[in-house]
Structure 1
Amino acid sequence: MSLENTINEAIKTAMRAKDKVALDSLRAVKSQILLLKTEARGAEVSAEQEIAILQRMVKQRKDSSEQFTAQGRNDLAEVEEAQMKIIEQFLPKQLSAQELEAEMKNIIAETGAESIKDLGKVMGVASKSLTGKSDGKSISEMAKKLLS
């Protein structure tokens, strides 16, 4: 089942449960998917593109939550965090720190990277192979740690 169909089913479930936060979150995801389809002009939307949309939306909510918390608006931060958790349900299982480190060591060995100078080469491969499994910031931090 495609992500769009999964989201549509989740919207129906949220409507029946009268879960406003879930409904708002899911409608936002559906909106972004439809926007991507419109921009693609009838071309198929890949799973990687759908994952990228979800990751972007999670990151936006995380950033908003941090800003609201810094401003003392915990009520708004809680809404953003709740929406973030709902959207994360549709992402692939995220790698733990240990799993990410093991994957990054494999990628470093594959690319033959030896120092921080090879960071770009490692990040190129890691970004493609770990799409959806970890965010770019975590991948970058782990690559820098292992190459230093």
Structure 2
Amino acid sequence: MSLLERLNSDMKQAMKNKEKDKLTTIRMVKASLQNEAIKLGTKELSEETELTILSREVKQRKESLHEFDKAGRQDLVDKLRAELAIVELYLPKQLSEEELSEIVKETISEVGAKSKADMGKVMAAIMPKVKGKADGSLVNKFVQQHLS
């Protein structure tokens, strides 16, 4: 089942169950996917593109969450946390820290990185491997740790 089909199915279920917040969030994600398809001029998006869009949606919500938290807007923080939980349901299973650390070590040895100067090469090689499965800032942190 494609992501769009899952979203449509879950949207119908949310309507039946009168889950207004879930319905709104699913509609926003679906709109993002459709807007990207229109922008690219295609009927269907590749799985990789869908992952990129979902990751973007998660990142936007996390950034907004941080800003609202700093501003003391607990009502918006709670709303965004609920949205984030819903969007994350559509992402692939996230890698554990141990799994991510192992992938970082393997990639560093593949690339032949020795110091922090090679950070760009390592990040360029590792990000396609963990796309949608790990947060970029966490990957960055692990790469820095292993290169120092």
Question: TM-score range, shorter-chain basis?
Answer: over 0.9
1:60, distance to aligned residue in structure 2 (A): 1.1
Q: Render the CA deviation track for 1:68-101: whole Å, top value 9, x for unaligned.
A: 1111110111000100000000000111111110
**Shift >3 Å, 4+ stretches:** none
Matched with 2:71 is 71
Matched with 1:138 is 138
* Bigger mean CA deviation after superposition, 81-90 or 42-51: 42-51
Q: How many residues align?
A: 148
Inter-partner Cα distance in structure 1 for 2:2 and 2:147: 38
Matched with 1:53 is 53
Matched, 1:100 2:100: yes
1:66, distance to aligned residue in structure 2 (A): 1.5
| TM-score, normalised with respect to structure 2 | 0.96
Q: Render the CA deviation track for 1:34-56: whole Å, top value 9, x for unaligned.
A: 00110111264111111111111
Matched with 2:121 is 121
1:115, distance to aligned residue in structure 2 (A): 1.1
Matched, 1:11 2:43: no
Inter-partner Cα distance in structure 2 for 1:54 and 1:103: 22
Matched with 1:23 is 23
Matched with 1:36 is 36
Q: Which stretches in structure 1 are left out of the alignment for 5+ residues? A: none
Give, as a single letter, the amino acid of the residue that structure 1 aligns with 2:128. Answer: K
Matched with 2:84 is 84
Corresponding residue SS for 2:72: coil
* Bigger mean CA deviation after superposition, 16-25 or 63-72: 63-72
Corresponding residue SS for 1:45: coil
Question: Percent of aligned pairs with the same residue?
Answer: 40
Corresponding residue SS for 1:31: helix
Corresponding residue SS for 1:114: coil
1:43–1:112 CA distance, 2 compared to 1 (3 A): farther
